[in-house]
Structure 1
Amino acid sequence: MEKHRHFIIHKPWGMISQFVNPAKRKKKLLGDLYNFPAGTMAIGRLDVASEGLLLLTTDGKISEKIRSSKFEKEYYVQVDGIINEEAVEKLKKGVEIGFDGKKYITKPGKAFLINDPKFPLRSQKIRDDRHGPTSWVSIIIREGKFRQVRKMTAAVGFPTLRLIRVRIGNIKLENMEVSGVIETDKLM
């Protein structure tokens, strides 16, 4: 039996977290980064406008385990405006968002203000100072509903401008180059 393979990547902005492009959009796919083996799957996804840590594997059991609520997922989020402590407290306690056409209260998590993490600029500029100030918050959750973090920041009045996943469990993005791929013996 062939040994399973695991990968850690730094997904760039504008890339689809899939190997097949169902909508035939002119976007890059994961397979454009590296010659992944057949059967490789993304563990969870990041939407086209999101960046950061993405894990891939050929092992469905590992994928299911990591997608579960056993592991924290941490995001650095640049928001429109100067986010305040009241909004951060709401993010921690859980906020109401829409999911599958229904109202959903997110599970409690962690959130705190952070300084600009100074990530490399995106290939598409977000905006400049003429549009008003921005700020950064770290959001740590154990669930992952569709576009959850974006919906959470909007629910507290601070829409997301840039979203970067920096950690899953104990695996961190740290100094990985954008579009970088690391093959590893195990993930968790």
Structure 2
Amino acid sequence: MARLILLNKPYGVLTQFTNGDGEQTLSDFVDVPDVYAAGRLDKDSEGLLILTDSGTMHAQISSPKFKKEKTYLVQVEGNPSDDVLRKLARGVELNDGKTRPAKVERIDPPELWERNPPVRFRKSVPDTWLKLTITEGRNRQVRRMTAAIGFPTLRLVRWAIGDWTVDGLAPGEWRDAPMPEGFVERERAPRTEGAGRPAGGGFKRPEGRKFEGKKPARAGGARFDDGEAKRPTGGARALQDKRNSPTRLAERRAEGSRRAERLAAGKVGKGGGKLGFKGAGKPAGKPSAGRGAAGKPVGGKPTAGRPTSGRPTPGKPAARPGADRRGGPSQPRPPKR
């Protein structure tokens, strides 16, 4: 059965059971195995701390999504006005975002235990006690909230969490408390062999269908082998390593730089070849007046009845521009696959 413990944490005690480095921890007051603090309370804060061995209860107390109310008795330096307290209740802007709306009221000095060491007062500055209820649990939130409105906290006592209070407990004392009515512990389903990850740990790859006949090749020369993927080996891996070697990468970068320079100078086209007609060696718009390598005019007038690119088939009339070979209107070519 889950256990719930209410502890009145004294001033100067760390909210942990181990590694106190010479300072007092919870193990100095609670000798109960397998219980942990649901939420934290600063070293220089006092009051209610709930310990439990229930993961479900731990989440309901400490997680802000459940909006569990936490009530603090706060002694601040100075005398804040009602307008300032209304601003505090609406929420104040902190470095990690604006706080949720809170409940704030001015109260008379409560009857509490003496703190050790006592609070240092300044005789020239008055102090005020506030009762502050919040539904969050940010780091040092209450102290930062009062500092944001210009009234630093002198003493901070957590009095209640939900319906649980620290009433009747001296500093360092604790008592068992019953679980809330209707509370149900959420149990984790045990892991079994064959359901997701095996109980023994690690992930077991499911049995794959073995390929029959020729195995499909993967990129880089790797093939499936009984459902298992393998890295390239042999010549494929050597070729891959050669392509990705630092020397080849440097050569490709240098070639890219040279092509960019030639492109900027107008000596090459985007496709990598020279600008102008294919094989002409001259820029576009300035056809050569000489003859090509095959003895044909290069820069002359195009042959009548056919486009400049291509050569008419002997014995057949040249196609008219804008018409296909059957004499009809031009038809769009099917897309290449």
Bigger strand share: 1
Residue number in structure 1 paired with 2:35: 40
Runs of 4+ aligned structure 1 residues displaced above 4 Å come to: none
- Report the equivalent of 1:144: 137
Which residue of structure 2 lines up, in the alignment, with residue 94 of structure 1?
91
Gaps of 5+ in 2: 182-337
Distance 2:166 2:56 in 1: 23
Q: Secondary structure at the match of 1:15?
A: coil
Moved more, 114-123 or 61-70: 61-70
Q: Which stretches in structure 1 are left out of the alignment for 5+ residues?
A: none
Aligned to 1:5: 3
Name the CA distance, whole Å, in 1 between partners of 2:35 and 2:116.
27
- 1:29 equivalenced with 2:25 (yes/no): yes
Q: Cα–Cα, structure 1 residues 28 and 81, in superposed 2: closer, same or farther, change >3 Å?
A: same
Note if 1:159 corresponds to 2:156.
no
Q: CA deviation at 1:150?
A: 0.4
For 2:123 and 2:100, locate their aligned partners in 1 and report how far apart those are by CA, in whole Å: 36
Task: For 1:185 and 1:170, locate their aligned partners in 2 and report how far apart those are by CA, in whole Å.
Answer: 11
Supply the AA of the counterpart residue of 1:90: K
Percentage identity across paired residues of the two chains: 38
Residues 77 and 136 in structure 1, CA contact (< 8 A), matched pair in contact too: yes
Aligned to 2:234: none
1:50 to 2:45 alignment: yes
- Structure 1 residues 84 and 175, CA gap change in structure 2 (3 angstroms): farther
CA displacement, residues 40-69 of structure 1 (integer Å, 9 cap, x when unaligned): 110101000000011000111110011233
Residue type of the alignment partner of 2:67: K
* 1:4 CA drift (Å): 2.1
Listed one character per residue, the Cα deviations across residues 72-119 of structure 1 (whole Å, up to 9, x for unaligned) are 0000100011122122111110001123xxxx1001011110111121
Q: Distance in 2 between matches of 1:131 and 1:21?
A: 41
Given that 1:6 and 1:187 are in contact with CA atoms closer than 8 Å, whether structure 2 keeps it comes out as no
Structure 2 counterpart of 1:14, which letter? G
Q: Which has the higher contact order (CA 8 A, sep 6+)?
A: 1
RMSD: 1.5
Whichever of the two has the greater Rg, that structure is 2
Distance in 1 (alpha carbons) for counterparts of 2:151 and 2:118: 19
Show CA shifts across 1:135-182 (max 9, x none). 111110111111000000000010011000001011111221111110
Contact 2:4–2:179, Cα closer than 8 Å, also in 1: yes
Q: Distance in 2 between matches of 1:75 and 1:131?
A: 26
Shift of 1:133: 1.3
Count of matched residue positions in the alignment of Structure 1 and Structure 2: 179
User: For 1:145 and 1:93, how far apart are their aligned partners in 2?
Assistant: 17
- Partners of 1:10 and 1:181 within 8 A in 2: yes
Deviation at residue 131 of structure 1 after TM alignment:
5.1
- Corresponding residue of 1:76: 73
SS at match of 1:136: strand
Indicate which of 175, 178, 183 corresponds to 1:182.
Answer: 175
Cα offset, 1:130, TM superposition: 2.4
Could you tell me which amino acid in structure 2 is paired with residue 55 of structure 1?
Answer: I
